[in-house]
Amino acid sequence: MKKIDIEKITSWYKENHVVGLDDRYLTSDNIRPHLTALNELFKVEKIGESFEGRAINKVIFGRGKIKIFLWTQMHGNESTGTRALLDLMEFFTKPEAEANLANYILEAATIYCIPILNPDGAVAYTRVNAQGIDLNRDVIDKKAKESQLLQDWLKKINPDFCFNLHDQRTIFSVAPHNKTATLSFLAPSIDEKRSLNQGRKETMTVIAAMNDLLQQFIPDQIGRYTDEFYPTATGDNFQKMGHNTILIESGHAKGDYNRYISREATFMALLEGMRCIAAGLGTDNHLSYLRIPNNEKKYLDAIFKNVSVAGRKTDIGVLFIEELVQEKVCFRPSIDQMKDLDDYNADEIINGENLDFENKNAAENWLKNRFN
């Protein structure tokens, strides 16, 4: 199957993506109508309940031998992957001019999805589940019901590839231009030596292909996470167990606080990933993965240059803190940095020479009005 054409796929997306999924606050109630409306290509089944008794569903589609397992919102307040997954299901429902690509994937692979693994966290807009457990650090202890469910289905499905979908904060940037990291990837390590076994090389090869496609859509805005081994992390353990696992972190794009751009990029990443897995790309191109620049933490929502605070000149770096207000995600400015920020980038860089604050608190109060 030939490579995905960026023009064709962006034009498909523009015409056909799912409408009405605009806010970053996204719960099981919001996606239920979309799951109910899926056609006979898809099998939707309740597989269990969260700690607070909310239904967790599995959606299966495709007819092929290769098994792909994908889950979203393991962290409840990270919804971009869920929205991209619904767009992907829409693609398989009505691929239009891309029917060949859709059929190719559906013939080669069977795709098992758990949209919103942490529905209680989604409602509360928290990273953790209702018991305060970070599901992405619970793979060994399995203290959370939701972690047990994920691993029960990992065993039942025995997938060849997994996609673990998350959102990352605005602070992540990509060298050398310090652009915002709109998407980041990780092929997790299987041990402290960060060994490259066959499976990990396969994972890296798929990510390299996803990066190649996406550089045409969000150039220089794709980063790579450190592959330091995390003994309690989901991806590291699943990869170690022999299930190739691709971590996708959807992030910020300039001015895009609803994350429409990273949602579209995540949709494309999933589609290209599935195309490569269906094609059995092997390991040949795994070293290209290492050429994706590392994520850095040099991006801020705003920078005020040369401000006076308590009689001293400094730059002020502002990060927005997400807060849920009446079921909508709002952003409260907070001062993250007070130092020379010449090597940082931001959505807005403002000359602050005329600003003079008594102290940091006074500056923070002023910012609340500035960004209201």
Site residues, Zn ion (CB under 5 A) = 75, 78, 166
Q: Which residue, 138 or 160, has its beta carbon nearer to Zn ion? A: 138
Task: For residue 140, give both structure tokens.
Answer: 């060994």
- Residue whose CB is less far from Zn ion, 166 or 275: 166
Shortest reach from residue 48's CB to Zn ion, in Å:
21
**Geometric angle at alpha carbon 327, from 181 and 335, rounded to 5°:** 45
* Residue 205 vs 239, nearer CB to Zn ion: 239
Which C-beta is closer to Zn ion: that of 173 or that of 314? Answer: 173
Identity of the residue, 77 or 314, whose beta carbon is nearer to Zn ion in the bound complex: 77
Rounded CA separation 277/281 (Å): 6
Q: Smallest gap, in angstroms, from Cβ of residue 75 to Zn ion? A: 4
* Distance of alpha carbon 295 from alpha carbon 172, whole angstroms: 6
Tell me the torsion sign for CA atoms 272, 273, 279, 281. positive
Closest CA to 286 of 171, 155, 196: 196
Q: Which residues of 319-340 are buried (b: 16+ CB within 10 A; e: fewer)?
A: bbebeeeeeebeeebebbbeee
CA atoms within 13 A on the CB side of 164: 25
Cβ 156 to Zn ion shortest distance, Å? 24
Minimum CB separation of residue 350 from Zn ion in Å reads 30
Cα–Cα distance between 363 and 309 in angstroms, integer? 8
Beta bridge partners of 58: 45
Closest CB to Zn ion among 166 and 263? 166
CB of 275 to Zn ion, least distance (A): 25
Q: How far is residue 74's CA from residue 290's CA, in Å, rounded to a whole number?
A: 27
Choose between 81 and 159: whose C-beta lies nearer to Zn ion.
81
- Smaller CB separation from Zn ion, 67 or 75: 75
User: At closest approach, how far in Å is the CB of 79 from Zn ion?
Assistant: 11
Separation of alpha carbons 190 and 193, rounded Å: 8
Nearest CA to 294 among 171, 176, 160? 176
Helix (H, G, I), strand (E, B) or coil at 267: helix
Cβ atoms within 10 A of the Cβ of 67, count?
A: 18
CA dist., res. 133 & res. 150, Å (int): 14
Distance, CA of 364 to CA of 279 (rounded, Å): 53
For Zn ion, give the closer residue by CB, 78 or 227: 78
Q: How far apart are CB 136 and Zn ion at their closest, in Å?
A: 6
Q: Which of 247, 251, 56 is nearest to 163 (CA)?
A: 247
Closest residue to bound Zn ion by CB:
166
